[in-house]
């Protein structure tokens, strides 16, 4: 029972992190080039907590975004493309630093390719607009992974020493 409660609590917390960080956007030099901190955080969550918690937290975050009106079904679909690509890359290629650094930008690029196909617009401008965010994601994914790993290890250490009644 304890592990189920821990799993649900962890997923809920991770979903809240993704939702909150997706709200804040760092402006880019040109319109449409803003960056969301949720992208490198999502990569870090996938690496540290595994695909199951990552995809569940991402789905919950998308549902919250839909309910709050901050996301549309198109946003959710593109986010899910990103999440599945990141999860596949981490799952297939492992958790080395090159995979951590490149998974987010590759997921973003494929998400933009899919978006271009859906809306029938040129993909090159979509990719160029996403380029600053891809660079930010590449730069921040590894440090966020290291930070989340330390937090997870500390939580596990504390949980081992908690007196259960």
In a domain, 11, yes or no: no
Q: Which tokens go with 124?
A: 């090159």
In a domain, 82, yes or no: yes
Return d(Cα 62, Cα 77) in angstroms, integer: 9
Q: Positive or negative, the Cα torsion across 97, 35, 65, 17?
A: positive
In a domain, 19, yes or no: no
Q: Which range has highest mean pLDDT (88-92, 121-125, 129-133, 151-155)?
A: 88-92
Model confidence over 112-132: pLDDT tens digits?
Answer: 999 999 988 788 988 988 888
Q: What is the dihedral of CA 41, 45, 48, 54, to 10 degrees?
A: -170
Res 57 pLDDT > 80: yes
**165 exposure class (CB count in 10 Å sphere: 0-12, 13-18, 19+):** exposed
In a domain, 53, yes or no: yes
pTM of the model: 0.90
**33 exposure class (CB count in 10 Å sphere: 0-12, 13-18, 19+):** middle
Res 108 pLDDT > 60: yes
Longest dimension (CA), the chain: 61
100, 47 contact by CB (below 8 A): yes
In a domain, 16, yes or no: no
In a domain, 54, yes or no: yes
Instruction: Identify which of 125, 130, 46, 38 has the alpha carbon closest to the alpha carbon of residue 76.
Output: 38
pLDDT at 2: 58
Helix or strand run (H / E) with residue 130: helix 123-161
In a domain, 17, yes or no: no
Number of domains in the chain: 1
22, 38 contact by CB (below 8 A): yes
Structural domain of 54 = 38-144
In a domain, 157, yes or no: no
Residues 6+ apart with CB under 8 A from 62: 71, 75, 76, 79, 80
What average pLDDT does this structure show over 23-36? Answer: 73
């Amino acid at each position: 029972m304890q592990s189920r409660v821990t799993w649900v609590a962890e997923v809920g917390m991770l979903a809240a992190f993704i939702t909150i960080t997706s709200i804040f956007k760092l402006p880019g030099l040109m319109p449409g080039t803003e960056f969301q901190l949720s992208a490198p955080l999502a990569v870090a969550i996938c690496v540290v907590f595994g695909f199951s918690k990552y995809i569940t937290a991402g789905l919950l975050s998308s549902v919250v975004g839909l309910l709050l009106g901050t996301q549309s079904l198109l946003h959710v679909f593109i986010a899910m493309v990103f999440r599945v690509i990141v999860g596949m890359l981490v799952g297939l290629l492992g958790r080395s630093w090159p995979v951590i650094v490149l998974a987010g930008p590759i997921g973003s690029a494929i998400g933009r390719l899919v978006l271009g196909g859906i809306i029938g617009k040129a993909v090159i401008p979509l990719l160029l607009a996403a380029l600053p965010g891809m660079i930010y994601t590449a730069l921040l994914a590894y440090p966020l992974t290291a930070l989340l790993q330390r937090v997870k290890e500390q939580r596990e250490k504390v949980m081992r020493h908690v007196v259960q009644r």
